[in-house]
Amino acid sequence: MKELTLDDLRHLMRISAGEDESIDLEGDIIDTGFSDMGYDSLAVLELASRLERDWGVVVPDEVAATLETPRAVLDYVNERAAVN
């Protein structure tokens, strides 16, 4: 499986919860908290669901709640994808 990139994650974020016009997802968001970008817990759960469906990596709800930044999501998914 290929590595999930920040661009891949941006795409998933857009389709999971939409894009707030005031948030520049093209900027340096890697360490920006999802809550700071306007993504609530439901949006993060939808993102986790899309990661499982599109990337084959299961992100349990209790884990998704702890993934607070794009970097955390990328690290989690790519670590698990490497062993699959």
The model's pLDDT over 5-60, given as tens digits with 9 standing for 90+, comes to: 999 999 999 887 665 566 678 888 999 999 988 888 888 999 999 999 999 999 99
Judged by DSSP in three states, 9 sits in helix
Asked if residues 63 and 77 have their Cβ atoms less than 8 Å apart, the reply is: no
* pLDDT computed for residue 9 by the predictor: 94
Which residues neighbour 63 within 8 Å (Cβ) at sequence distance 6 or greater?
48, 76
User: Mean pLDDT across the stretch 59-65?
Assistant: 95
pLDDT level of residue 1 (50, 70, 90 thresholds): low
Please report the pLDDT score of residue 19 as a whole number: 57
Looking at residue 22, its pLDDT comes to 60
Tell me the C-alpha to C-alpha distance, in Å, between residue 59 and each of 25, 42, 46, 49: 22, 14, 10, 7
